[in-house]
Amino acid sequence: MRRTTALRAGLSALLVLASWAAVAGPASASSSAEPPPAPGAFSTGLLDAMERDLRLAPGSARDRLAAERAAAAAEPAARRAAGASYGGAWFDERTGRLTVAVTDASRVPAVRAAGADARITARTARSLDAAKAEIDALPAPKGVSSWHVDPRAGRVVVNVVASRKSDNDVLAFLARAREAGPVRVAEVGAAPRPFAAGTVGGDPYYTGNVRCSIGFSVHGGFVTAGHCGSPGAAVRGWDGSHIGTFQGSSFPGNDYAWVSVGSGWWTVPVVLGWGTVPDQLVRGSAEAPVGASVCRSGSTTRWHCGRVLAKNETVNYSQGAVHQMTRTSVCAEPGDSGGSFISGDQAQGVTSGGWGNCRTGGETWHQPVGEILARYGLRLHTA
C-alpha cells in the first residue's frame, strides 16, 4: 500500500507501540495527542463524545460505562437464574443496573443474587420471539419500517412511517401481526434505507461506484455491510489502490460481508476517532444490553454516540427485510454503511442503514458482529 506523509500522529503512535501496519489514509488517524488509554480505561475524548451525544451530566460518562460493563457481565448468569420464565433484559439508565423480566416471581431472588434487578412480566421472551417469527413471515409494505421484541413492554413493537400509518396495506399488515401475538404500534419519521453512498471501523473503501466504511479488522481482512458489495467484487482503499476482495456477502435477509486483505494492506484492532476522540482500540466483542450507550465510526459523519434501543429487530428495506438487527439512536448518513459500532472497547456490529441524518437526528441499525464472525468462521483482531 502506498504511504503518505498525511498519516497523523495518533494512529502512528499506536502502530509503533504495537508493531502494527495500518489500513489508514489521510483522513484515517486521530489528530489528538492524547495517549491511548490503558486496558479497562477510556479516553477523555470518548467520554466527552458520550456526554455530548447522550446528553449526560458532565463527568458521568465514565461511571455509566462502568455500570454498563457490569450489566453486560451479569446478563448470562441472570438469564440462567430466570430459567424458563426469562422475559428479556435491559440496562436501566435510571438505576445503572441490568433489569431482567421474569414470569415466575419465585425466580426473583435468584436473579437478584446474580447481580440484576427483576421485574415481573406476563410473557416469556420465548413466546414473544415466536410471535415475532410469525410476523417475520408476513410480506411487509413499505409503510412498515421495522419490528422487534420489547421486553420492557412485553410486546412486539411494530414501527410504521407516520405519514403512511393509515395506508390500507399497513393496516392489513398490523391486523395480521396482532394475530401472531401482543403488538404495540409506534411511529417513526421516515422509512429506513441502507447507508451506502453511490458514485463517490470508519475508514472509507470503494467497490464499483459505491463508498462504504470498514467495520472491524478480523484476521485476514475486515467485516462490513453486505449491501456494499457481492462476493468476488474488488475493493479499493482510500488511495485508490487494491485492498482485496469480497469473500462473502449477504443482503437482504442479512446485511453482512467480509473482505480479504492483501496487496500490502494490513489489519489493526482500531476504530477511527476522526479527531473527535482518539482512535479506539478493540479489545473484545461483549454485547452491550438494550439501554446501554454505543458509538459509531463512519467515513461520512465520522464519530457519533447514542443508545441501544432494541435487539433482534427485523428491518424492512425496499430491497427486502433484514433480520436480527440492533436498533440504536445513533445518527448516520450515506457512506457510513459497514462502519464500526463500538461500546467502550467492545465491538458491537457493522452499520447497516436507518433514517434521518446527523443534522436533525435519526436512528441507525447495525448487524451484530458476533453473527458475522460465526457465519464466516472469522476471528476478531483484538488488542
202-218 burial string, b = 16+ CB within 10 Å, else e? Answer: bbbbbbeebbbbbbbbb
What does the alpha-carbon distance between residue 35 and residue 27 come to, in Å, rounded to a whole number? 19
To the nearest 10 degrees (0 to 180), the angle between helices 44-53 and 61-82 is 80
What does the alpha-carbon distance between residue 347 and residue 341 come to, in Å, rounded to a whole number? 6
Give the closest residue to 97 by CA, choosing from 111, 109, 115, 85. Answer: 115
In a 3-state reduction of DSSP, which class is residue 90? Answer: strand
Contact 60, 305 (CB under 8 A): no
Q: Largest Cα–Cα distance in the chain? A: 64
C-alpha cell at 311: 435487539
Indicate the burial class of 94 (C-beta count within 10 angstroms; 0-12, 13-18, 19 or more). Answer: exposed
As annotated, the active-site residues are 227, 255, 337
DSSP 50: H
The CA angle 213-219-222, to the nearest 5 degrees, is 10
40: Cβ contacts below 8 Å, ≥ 6 apart: none
Indicate the burial class of 223 (C-beta count within 10 angstroms; 0-12, 13-18, 19 or more). Answer: buried
In a 3-state reduction of DSSP, which class is residue 276? Answer: coil
